Amino acid sequence: MTYEEFMAGLYVKYHMVYVRSVPFIKFGGVHKEAAGFEDMVILKIDAERVLAELKNRNMAEALCLIAQGYYQWEVAEIIEVSVRTVEQYVYRFKKYLLKV
């Protein structure tokens, strides 16, 4: 699983939307049509599974907020850490996904 797939799965969790009965994911400013509802459900379940494995709850919360559309500086204010810490969370999570 890549970081983009993980974030797309969380995006589906928080923003599942239908347009003309064709499911799509708007992520990174690009609309990506999925092959079907099943693909989106699989992305969501995989993202939730990886999220549940994280021991750092602040990191998990930060990733969820980023997937909901918050900027990193907003996430830092919400969970009361520095912006640099949020950047480190994202960096460490990307490295974690490479190992998984």
- Return d(Cα 17, Cα 66) in angstroms, integer: 18
Q: What pTM did the predictor assign?
A: 0.74
pLDDT digits (tens, 9 = 90+) for 68-88: 889 999 999 999 999 999 999
Check residue 20 and give its pLDDT. 42
- Contact partners, residue 69, CB within 8 Å, separation at least 6: 15
pLDDT confidence of 26, banded at 50, 70, 90? low
Q: For the chain, what is the domain count?
A: 1
Look up the domain containing 13 and give its range: 3-99
pLDDT the model gives residue 32: 54
Q: Specify the pLDDT at position 4.
A: 85
